[in-house]
Amino acid sequence: MAQRTARITRRGLLAAGAALAAAGLGAPAARAQNLPGGIASAMPMLREVFGNRRFQEGKVFLKVPVVAENSSSIQVSTGVANEMPVRLVLIAPANPFPLLAELRFGPRAARAEAAVRIRLARTQTVVVAAEMPDKSVWIASTDVTVTSGACIEPGE
């Protein structure tokens, strides 16, 4: 009886790797919607605020320093360029209280932009979500490296 041996070729190995990548071995919540991996940590909070809506990238902007030396006061600018959202929600998922701000704009608002100062506990992805009048939700995120944490829970 002849014994069959499997021969692994470089082409076969690359094809298997491509198939695994196409199947998506990243973060499940972000993978389902093709969102960047850092947003996956904010998905539980986003789901709590917006339910099971689909999140899309674009329309909303987020300006925050990439490195925060003084994490107790970080300047953040956010908004939507050419439309008026119902609300903007700012989230820092690694903070003890991840919901940083919920901003609503009334009919007299000239622009849908805001500048706030936030605190971050440690290095993390800061996420902003804009809910539009048609109930669509648009998100943006920035990874922020914190050199010294500001909001530490008691006992840490």
At 30 the pLDDT is: 42
Q: Which domains does the chain have, with CATH numbers?
A: 36-146 (2.60.40.2470)
Distance CA(118)–CA(89), nearest Å, equals 13
CB crowding 24-38: b at 16 or more within 10 Å, else e: eeebebbeeeebbeb
Per-residue pLDDT tens digits for 86-143: 999 999 999 999 999 999 988 888 889 999 999 998 899 999 999 999 999 999 999 9
pTM: 0.71
Percent of the chain past pLDDT 90, that is, above it, reads: 49
At 107 the pLDDT is: 82
Per-residue pLDDT tens digits for 42-97: 899 999 999 999 999 989 999 999 998 888 889 999 999 888 999 999 999 999 99
